[in-house]
Amino acid sequence: MAALYCVMGDPIEHSRSPEIHRRFAAQFSIALEYRRINVQPGSLPSMVRRFAEDGGLGCNITVPLKEEAAALSDSLGDGARQAGAANTLSFGDNGRIHGDNTDGPGLLRHLRVNLGLELENASILIIGAGGAARGIIPALMGANIAKITLVNRTRKRALELARRFAPLGAIRAGNPEAETPPPADLVINASSAGLAGHPPRLPRSLAAGAHCIDLAYGKAAEAFMSWARRGGARSTHDGWGMLVEQAAESFAIWHDRHPDTRKLLNP
């Protein structure tokens, strides 16, 4: 019988996680069924329980449910605990749920190994303060960067995250209404504004000379990438590489084997 996994989120139809996990499974001849399940905020605990009762062994969690996923977990890995957000749930025999966060390790591996970027002493601007931002901040702070400026549509959430992560390193919440954020070496769009086709509501000059990456991929990344290119970015990237690398980390947690990501990165 095929091992059963899924990704839960809303929207979910666009998710390419099933394809990625099936291709990883094929590398090890693992029989795998991987579904997409649309889950509205508030109903994650019941949907996860039902999926586990149906024989599911684990699930990935995406927008906007990662904080809910951490809250429902019986235990958390270090990254998920620091982030207060989980994107990988594993079900134990005893019905217990363990939550991990592979977004941070996946992004780091993509930036360093696949894109060859130096992060040491980098100034980083992060746009967005949702589950994805929570997942990547602790990992970035562990990479000897200089500082992070965080801006978000709802400033209160940026202030909360800056307070939460201040013990890990230099981070402050910017106030773009009052002042332009400082120049950065790396601009990361961790907001989901691109799903509705919206570019950042920030001056394009912030992209000048910076490496710019949107965590979203495909069409959802187009508005940010065009904003960055027109602002004179040094390089622009969408979130495909991170998606593949965070999926590889999830796969390794579930199957105890690390897949080769190269074929998916360079199809």
Query: Which residues of this chain interact with ligand NDP, rule CB under 6 A?
Result: 63-64, 66, 103, 106, 128-133, 152-154, 157, 190-193, 195-196, 198, 215-217, 220, 239, 242-243, 246
Q: How far is CA 71 from CA 87, 111, 159, in A?
A: 12, 29, 21
Nearer to ligand NDP, 104 or 231 (CB): 104
Nearer to ligand NDP, 145 or 213 (CB): 213
The nearest distance, CB 244 to ligand NDP, in angstroms, is 8
The nearest distance, CB 30 to ligand NDP, in angstroms, is 22
Nearer to ligand NDP, 7 or 233 (CB): 7
Distance separating alpha carbons of residues 64 and 124, to the nearest angstrom: 23
Q: Count CB neighbours of 112 within 10 A.
A: 13
Residue least distant from ligand NDP (Cβ)? 130
Instruction: Judge contact between 175 and 149, C-beta under 8 A.
Output: no
The verdict on whether 263 is a catalytic residue reads: no
Instruction: Judge contact between 5 and 32, C-beta under 8 A.
Output: yes
Candidates 66, 147, 156, 219; catalytic one: 66
CA 36 vs. chain centroid, Å, equals: 17
* Alpha helices by DSSP H, the chain: 17-27, 44-53, 66-72, 78-83, 103-109, 131-141, 155-165, 222-230, 240-255, 262-265
CA 240 vs. chain centroid, Å, equals: 11
The nearest distance, CB 139 to ligand NDP, in angstroms, is 12
The nearest distance, CB 120 to ligand NDP, in angstroms, is 23
Nearer to ligand NDP, 209 or 259 (CB): 259
SS3 32: strand
Helix (H) or strand (E) holding 9: strand 3-9
Distance separating alpha carbons of residues 86 and 61, to the nearest angstrom: 7
Nearer to ligand NDP, 32 or 137 (CB): 137
Residues designated as active site:
66
